[in-house]
Amino acid sequence: MDPASSPNPASASFAPAGFPSDTDEDGVSPGYIVPEIIVTEPAWRRHIPHADRLIRRVARAAGSTADCVVLSCDRDVRRLNARHRGKDKPTNVLTFEPVGMPGAEGGEIVLALGVVLREAKAARKRPAHHLAHLLVHGVLHLHGHDHHHAGDARRMEAEEARIMRSLGMPNPWKRS
């Protein structure tokens, strides 16, 4: 299936995320939107074991309302990036607001394994920490944050660092 050919680019035929009736093994509270996690690139499991637990934990800490997180490959993310942003190259993370409902809760976050691994290696970071940071970044985009202007970028980076600290992970903006 070409993920870019559907109204919701990443998860066209997948069921929406659910609302648990009680806390799950990660302690997610009732009424909290748990994102559906779709792994289209199996190598994610080898490089970041238990990524699903990490994603739920990060989503909760960041106050995510995303319906779906897709762990994909560079090729598919490149296709989505070209179609939706006019950039014919893979990127680390893409976010998609609910179609026809700007500002509404929900949305999708799509991550490219190859880019995530290359960036983590270049920055001497653990891939799991980099995944966590990019997920926080995507959640903040869905909440309306942006980084096109210096002041906005500083605010967004500070919020990313705060959330990462709350998870017991290093500040992604400090060099190791």
How confident is the model over 30-88, as pLDDT tens digits? 335 789 999 999 999 999 999 999 999 999 999 888 899 999 999 999 999 999 999 99
Report residue 174's pLDDT band, with 50, 70 and 90 as the boundaries.
Answer: confident
Q: How does DSSP assign 100-145, residue by residue?
A: T-TT-S--EEEEEHHHHHHHHHHTT--HHHHHHHHHHHHHHHHTT-
Cα–Cα distance for residue pair 25/106, rounded to 1 Å:
23
- Among 169, 142, 166, residue whose Cα is nearest residue 156: 142
Locus of tokens 């014919």: 88
Residue 9: count other Cβ atoms within 10 Å of its Cβ: 21
Q: Is 71 helix (H, G, I), strand (E, B) or coil?
A: strand
The residues facing 142 across adjacent strands are none
132 has pLDDT over 90:
yes
Q: How many CA atoms lie within 13 A of 92 on its CB side?
A: 15
126 has pLDDT over 80:
yes
Q: In the prediction, which pLDDT does 148 show?
A: 79
Averaged pLDDT score across all residues of the chain: 82
Q: What is the rounded average pLDDT of the residues 140-154?
A: 84
Q: In the prediction, which pLDDT does 146 show?
A: 80
**Any idea which of 78-92, 116-130, 137-151 has the lowest mean pLDDT?**
137-151
Cα–Cα distance for residue pair 138/11, rounded to 1 Å:
16
Q: How does DSSP assign 68-109, residue by residue?
A: EEEEE-HHHHHHHHHHHHS--S--SEEEEPPTT-TT-S--EE
The residues facing 69 across adjacent strands are 37, 109
Q: What is the rounded average pLDDT of the residues 120-137?
A: 96
Q: In the prediction, which pLDDT does 32 show?
A: 53
